[in-house]
Structure 1
Amino acid sequence: MADCRHLQLMSVPLDLPSHIQEMLLDFNHIKYLGKNTFQQYSDLTNLSLRSNSLAFLEKDIFRKTLKLESLSLQHNTIYSYYTQVATALQSATSLKWLDLSRNILNGDMVTVLLKNLTSLEYLNLDYNTIMRLDDFTFEGLDSLKELSLQGNYIYEIEEGTFDNLKRLNTLNLAFNLLPCIVDFSLIQLKVLNLSFNHIEWFLAREVDIDFQLEKLDISHNQLFYFPLLPKRHHLHTLLLSDNKMKFYDHLFDVNSSFVDFLVLDKNTSSTISVHLWQGTISNDLSNLQVIDMSRNQFDYLPDDFLSNMTSLSELRLSWNCLHTFNLSHGHISNVLINLDLSNNDLWELKIDTSSQSFPQLLYLNLSSNKFQDLPQKIFHAMNKLDTLDLSHNLIHLCSHSVYATAHQNCVDLRNAATIRHLGLAECGLNLDTQNVFQGTELTHLDISYNPLKSLFFLRNTARTLKFLSLRNSSSFIDRIDFSDFLSLATLDLSESGLTTFPESLTHLPLQYLDVRKNKLISIPLSSANQPLTRNLNTVFLSENPYDCCKLNWLQILRVSKSINIPDLHKMTCNFSDIHMSVPELPESVLHSCSWKSGGTLLSVVLTVPLCITLLVALLLVFLTFKQPILKAFKRRFRVSSRY
C-alpha cells in the first residue's frame, strides 16, 4: 500500500514500486489524470482519490489496471467533464466498488456515468443533487448489491427504477424529499433506509410473495399510521421513531375507516383500498426482534398489537402519550431484553406478579411518567434485570421500618440481587434510616433532586457503589463521611449547597468528580500524592465563590497532566468582593495574595517599620520639649550643695 494522503500533490507519483496494490491519494490537489498515469501499476486493486480537485480523466486510463476493483472519487468536481469521466470509467472492467459522492451530480449525469458498468456491486452517490430517478438511471447494473443515495433531493422515483437490480439487497434513501411509498415491491431487498424524508404513507404491494426485507428504517418522517408491510417478509428490525403515528380505530366506525389510494402507472391507473384505522395488524410480525416507535403520538396500543411479536427483544415506546401499559402474560413477549417506556403519561402498569416473569429482561426505563402506585413485587419477577430507571415518578420504597405490611403503597427493591444500575432522581424521596436496599449490590445509583436527610440508607450498598449522583440533594452533604464508599469512581455533588469540601473525599480513588454550583471557598488538597489527585481524570469546579488567595489546591490539580478540568474557563474567584476569572487573574491580585499569605515574615516586615516610626516620633517629641522638661526636672529634685 502507498499512503500519499495530505502531501499537496499535483499529480500521481510515478516512482512508486510497480507491485503496489492499494494507492491512497486523498486530500491532494490533483485535477487531471492522463491515460498513462497508472500504466506501470498493473497490480492496482484499490485506488482512492477523495477530496482532490479532480475534474478530468482521459479515455482508457484504467486500461492497464485490469485488477482494479475499488475506486473512490468522493468530493471532487467530476461534474465539469462528466462525459469524459464516464468514458474513462468504462475502461475499468473489473470495478466492483465505486464512490461518486459529493460531486454535484444530477440525475442525467449519473445515468451517463454509470453506463455499461456491469461489474459494479457497491455504488455510493450520497450528497449530490439528484432530484428524481427513472428506469434508465441504473440500467445495466445487473450485479449491484448495495446502493446509497443519501442526502440528495430525490422527491420522485418512477415505477420500475429498481426492477432490473435483481441482486440489490441494501438501499439507502435517507435524507431526501420523498413524500410517500405507495407501492413498495422490491422483493429482493433486505435493508431499506428511508429515514429523514417527508413520508406520510408506506404501503407495500399486497401480493402473496415472500419479501426478503429484514431491516426497515422509516424514522424521522411524517407517518400518520403504522406502515402497511408485505404479507410475507423476514423483518427483524423496524425503526419508526420521530413520526406522527397513532391508532384511530376508537374514533372511526367500520364504514369510515377505509381510504382509497389512486396509483398512476404511466398510462394506466389502479386503486388500492386500505383499512387505515384498524387496530389490528394483519401482517405476521412473529420474527420481529427490534421495534422503535419512540417520539410518536400513541395514546394507546390495541390489545393484540404486541402479542403477535413473539420474538421481540427490544421495544422502545418513549416520548408518546400512553396512559396504561400491559405487561401481563400473553400481551408482550417473554424474551424481551430492552423495554423503554420513559416520557409518557403512564400512571398504571398491569402485570400479574404471581405468575408472570421476564427471564431475559435486562433494561427497563419507566422514568418521567406519572406513576404513584406500582405492584409492590413487580421487579422480583424480573430475574435478570440489570438496569432500572424510575426517575421522575412520585414513588415510595419499602423498608423494614416503614410500610411493613403488604397492603402499603410502596415498591420493594430489597433483595433484588441482579439490579446494578438504578435511577431514582426526583422521586420525592426523603430517605433517612430506611432499609430500602438490603440484599442489593448496586454499582450505579442516581438519587439526585430528592429531599434526603442523610445517607444512612446507603449503608447496605456503600461498598459496591461505583457511580453515585447526589445532585441537588441537600445541604447536609458536607457533613457526610464517605470513607465507606471504597469502590466509588464517579461522584456528582453539584447543586448541593456545599460550604466545605468533605475531607473524606480526598482519601477516595475517585476518577470523576462534579462539585459545580455549590458554595465552596477552597478544596483541602495539600499534595499531588493524595488518593484523590492520583486517580482523578475529570473534575468540574465552576460556579463556586472560591477565594482568589486560596487557590493552591487548583495548582496541584493543574500540574497533573492526567486531570482534565473542562469548565476551567468558567471558574471565578472572589477578591475584595470582586469576582474574577480564575485562568486570567491579573499579576496585581497574585502579588497582593502573596503578601496576604506571607505569614511570620510578612508580620516582621510590617512590624519593623512601625516600630522605627514610633521611635522617631518619640525622639522628635523629646527634642521639641527638651529645655522645659529639664528645667521642670531640676526644680522638682533640687537640693542644697555642700561646700
Structure 2
Amino acid sequence: MAAFQLLFLLSVGCSVAFARPPQTPRAPLHLRPCQVVQMDVLCSDLSLRGVPINLPRQVQMLDLSRNQVQNLTEETLGFHTGFHRLNLHSNRIHFIQPGLFRDMKDLRVLDLSKNHLNVFAHSKINVGPLTAVEFLDLSNNGLYTGMSDFFLAESPSLANLSLNSNSITKITRNTFGGAASLRKINLHNNVILEIEDGAFDSLDNLTELDLSKNSITCILDFNLFNLAFLNLSKNSVEFFQSVESNVSFKLRSLDLSENKLLYFPLLPENNVLEFLDVSRNRLQTVNNTGGPENQTNLIFHHLRYLDMSYNKFKSIPEYFINCMKSLEVLNVSNNCIGSFSATSKGLLHKVKIINLSYNSLQSLTFGKNTLPSLKKLFLQGNDLSILDHQIFQRLPSMKYLQLQQNNLKICGSEQNQLEPTLTNQKNSSGCVSFSSVCNLHFLYLSENNLKTLPAGAFTNTPLKLLDLSLNPGLDIHKDSLSGLEHTLVHLVLRENNMSSLNPDLSLLKCLKHVDLSTNQLNTLPTWSKESAIESLNLQNNNLVTLDHSTILALEHSLKTLYMGFNPLSCCDNLAFLHMMQHSSVIVPDIEIVTCVHSEHSEPVNIERVTKEMCHQPPPTNYTLVVVAVFSVLVVLAVLLGVCCCYRRTKHRRGFRA
C-alpha cells in the first residue's frame, strides 16, 4: 500500500513536470546572488525553483522564501542535511519527498507557510519524522480537518505550532497525537465548530492556545489546568464555564472579546487570572448564571486588567469589584452605566486607569482614600452636569483627566475655597473645582458648553496641557490661567468663536504649543521676546495683519506656524513674508495661505508675493514733476520779462528829439 502511495506521488510529480512549459536554464549563482552571512544563506525573492549550486556545505540557515519551489526534494535543497533553520514561506510547494527530513537531525525551525500542502495531504503520507523540529509553521496552506495529522504524526520535540488561516472545522482527539511536547498552538482564523472532549488532554506542557476568529459557540467544562494563555476572541461563544475542581488553574490570560456572551464567564475560585477581556459581547449584568438564585461569587484576587467595554451594562456594583484587590486597569466604556461609585476604603487601592467614557453617567462618587493610585480617568461622552465640586481633589495621584463632551461648569477662585464638609453633600454651586488637584498634568474640557472660564480656575494645579476647545462663546477671564505660568506647555482653544483673547499668554513662560484655530480673532495675543512658543496654529481666523513686534517676538523660538484661511493683506505683512523666507519657521499649510492684493481679483498665494509687488511710486517722481513745472514757469516768466523790456525800449525810441 505504501509503495502504491509512493508511486502515486511520483506520478503526480512527473505529470506536473511534463505539464510545465519549457524553461530557460537556471542562471548561474553569480547572476542569482544569494546573500551568505557566516553560515546563513538568504535566497528570498529570486524566482528560484531550488537552491543555487555551490552553497557552503556547512550552511545552517536557508531562507528560500517567496520563490517558485513546487517540489520539495533532496535535489531542491541541494542535498544539504545540516540545516538548523529552513524557511520555505510563500512558495508553491505541493509535493514533499517522503522521508526528506529523516536525516536532518539538527533541524529546529521549519516554515512551510503559504504553500499548497493540502494537495500533498491527499496522499495521506506522513511528512516525518521531524525528529528535532521545535517550531513548525503550516499556516495558509488550505488544510482542513485531519490533514494536519500527516505533518504532526512524528514530531516528538515540537513545541510551537502554527495552523492559522486554514480551513479546519474540527479538533479531534488524534489531531496532536504525535506532538506531545507542544507548548504553543495557533489555530487563529479557521472555521472550527467543534472541539472533541479530550482533544488537548495529552498535551501536558500546553501553555498557550489561540482559537481566535473561528466559529466556536460555547465552552463547557473547561479543564486545561496547565494552560496560561487562552484566546477565544472573534468567535460566537455564548457561554464559558470551567469544571468544578479543587485543582489549581494556571490560566493567567483569557480573551473572550467579540463574542456573544450573555453571562459573565464562570471561572473557579482557585484561579490566578491576571488579564480578562469580555469586551464587545451582549453582557447586561455581572451575573454568571441565568438567575440570581444560582449566582456564584466571583473571586479574582490576581486580576490586573479587566475590559468590559462595548456591552450593555447598566451598573457595576461595588461588590463585583470588591474581590479585585490587584486590579490596575478597569475599562467599562461604551455601556449604559448611569452611576458609578467607589466609596469603600482600599477597595481599588492599586487601580491606575479607569475608563467610564461614553456611558450615561448621572452620578459619580469617589470616597476619600478610595483610589490612591489612580493616574488616568476617562469620563468623556457622558453629559455630566452635576458633580461634587471637590471630587477630583480626592484623587491624589491623578495625572490625566478626560472630561470632554459633558456639561460641566468650572468653579472660580472664590468657590474653590468653599469645600463641602461631607462627601455626599449636594453641590449647591453646580460647579466643579480644578484647583489644588496636586498632580493633574493633562486636562481635557472640550465640548462642555462652557460659557465662562473664571479667574483662578486652576490655581495650585500643575497643568501641562489644557484643552478648552469646542466651547462656542467661551468668555475667558484675563486671570483664568493664573497659576500656570511655570507649568503649562500645551494650550488648545480652537473652535470657540472668540474674537479676542483676554489672558496675557506672554506670562506663561513654559508655553510651547498653542492652538487658536477656527475662531474669529482679528488680532494676535501679545508675546514678549521671552516667549517659548514653538508651534502656533492660527488657521481659520479673521487676521488681516500680523503685528511686526509680535513676529519679532515669536521668530526666535517659533518652529511651526499654521496660517491658512485668513484674509491676510499681502502688502501689510511683509514682516511675516520676510520671516517665512529668511527663518527656519515651517508653515506646513503654506499652499493654502493666501492674501489680498489690490491689483488681483482673487487671493494670491503668500509664497508668490514679492516686495516689488508692494512698492509705491517713488517720491522722486513727484519732485521731478514739480521741478519741471517750476522750470517751465521760470522760462515763461523770463520770456515775458524780455518781451516787456523790448516793448518799453521801442516806445522810448519813438519819442526821441
* Superposition deviation, residue 246 in structure 1: 0.8
* Alpha-carbon separation, structure 2, partners of 1:241 and 1:83: 41
* Alpha-carbon separation, structure 2, partners of 1:57 and 1:304: 60
Aligned to 1:167: 205
**1:81 and 2:102 matched:** no
* Alpha-carbon separation, structure 2, partners of 1:319 and 1:106: 38
Q: 53-62 or 123-132: which moved more?
A: 53-62
Aligned to 1:144: 182
Q: Is the 8 A contact 2:286 2:320 kept in 1?
A: no
Which of 613, 616, 634 in structure 2 is aligned with 1:597?
613
Deviations 1:226-285 (A, max 9, x none): 112234321111111111211298xxxxxxxx9xxxxxxxxxxxxxxx544569542322
Aligned to 2:498: 475
Q: 2-11 or 153-162: which moved more?
A: 2-11
Which of 275, 283, 295 in structure 2 is aligned with 1:245?
283
Q: 1:475 to 1:275 in 2, by over 3 A?
A: closer
* Structure of greater Rg: 2
Q: Is the 8 A contact 1:443 1:467 kept in 2?
A: yes
Any idea what SS the aligned residue of 2:146 has? helix
Aligned to 2:303: 288
Q: 72-81 or 515-524: which moved more?
A: 515-524
Deviations 1:280-300 (A, max 9, x none): 542322221211111111112
Q: 1:295 to 1:116 in 2, by over 3 A?
A: same
Deviations 1:134-190 (A, max 9, x none): 223222221111111112222332333222222111111112222222332222211
Residue correspondences, number:
586
Any idea what SS the aligned residue of 1:414 has? coil
Aligned to 1:359: 372
Aligned to 2:464: 443
Query: Which amino acid in the other structure matches residue 47 of structure 1?
Result: L
Aligned to 1:309: 324
TM-score normalised according to structure 1 size: 0.78
Q: Is the 8 A contact 1:72 1:100 kept in 2?
A: yes
Matches within 5 A, 1:613-628: none
**1:388 and 2:427 matched:** no
TM-score normalised according to structure 2 size: 0.76
Q: 1:507 to 1:543 in 2, by over 3 A?
A: farther
Q: Is the 8 A contact 1:280 1:305 kept in 2?
A: no
Q: 1:18 to 1:546 in 2, by over 3 A?
A: farther
CA RMSD of aligned residues (A): 4.2
**1:328 and 2:366 matched:** no
Q: 1:278 to 1:497 in 2, by over 3 A?
A: farther
* Superposition deviation, residue 84 in structure 1: 7.4
Q: Is the 8 A contact 1:226 1:246 kept in 2?
A: no
Q: Is the 8 A contact 1:303 1:331 kept in 2?
A: no
* Superposition deviation, residue 330 in structure 1: 5.7
Aligned to 1:153: 191
Deviations 1:24-50 (A, max 9, x none): 333344444431454675553222233
* Alpha-carbon separation, structure 2, partners of 1:459 and 1:341: 30
Any idea what SS the aligned residue of 2:241 has? strand
Q: 165-174 or 506-515: which moved more?
A: 506-515
Aligned to 1:484: 507
* Superposition deviation, residue 404 in structure 1: 4.7
Q: 1:150 to 1:551 in 2, by over 3 A?
A: farther
Any idea what SS the aligned residue of 2:306 has? strand
* Superposition deviation, residue 485 in structure 1: 3.1
Q: Is the 8 A contact 2:478 2:504 kept in 1?
A: no
Aligned to 1:71: 110
* Superposition deviation, residue 435 in structure 1: 0.9
* Alpha-carbon separation, structure 1, partners of 2:74 and 2:120: 15
Any idea what SS the aligned residue of 1:401 has? helix
Matches within 5 A, 1:153-552: 153-247=191-285, 274-277=289-292, 281-329=296-344, 332-353=347-368, 356-402=369-415, 404-406=417-419, 408-409=428-429, 410-450=431-471, 451-454=474-477, 456-477=479-500, 481-500=504-523, 502=525, 504=527, 508-510=531-533, 512-520=535-543, 536=559, 543-544=565-566
* Superposition deviation, residue 217 in structure 1: 0.6
Query: Which amino acid in the other structure matches residue 491 of structure 1?
Result: V
Q: 1:479 to 1:285 in 2, by over 3 A?
A: closer
Any idea what SS the aligned residue of 1:229 has? coil
* Alpha-carbon separation, structure 2, partners of 1:278 and 1:516: 62
Aligned to 1:618: none
Q: Is the 8 A contact 2:517 2:537 kept in 1?
A: yes
Aligned to 2:9: none
Deviations 1:106-157 (A, max 9, x none): 2233232322222211111222222332223222221111111112222332
* Alpha-carbon separation, structure 2, partners of 1:522 and 1:449: 25
* Superposition deviation, residue 194 in structure 1: 1.1
Deviations 1:412-439 (A, max 9, x none): 3322221111222223334455112211
Any idea what SS the aligned residue of 1:79 has? helix
Q: Is the 8 A contact 2:392 2:434 kept in 1?
A: yes
Q: 1:392 to 1:186 in 2, by over 3 A?
A: same
Q: Is the 8 A contact 2:82 2:106 kept in 1?
A: yes
Query: Which amino acid in the other structure matches residue 75 of structure 1?
Result: K
* Alpha-carbon separation, structure 1, partners of 2:57 and 2:582: 52
Q: 488-497 or 113-122: which moved more?
A: 488-497
Q: Is the 8 A contact 1:133 1:156 kept in 2?
A: yes
**1:51 and 2:51 matched:** no
* Alpha-carbon separation, structure 2, partners of 1:554 and 1:130: 66
* Alpha-carbon separation, structure 1, partners of 2:595 and 2:458: 40
Q: Is the 8 A contact 2:564 2:593 kept in 1?
A: yes
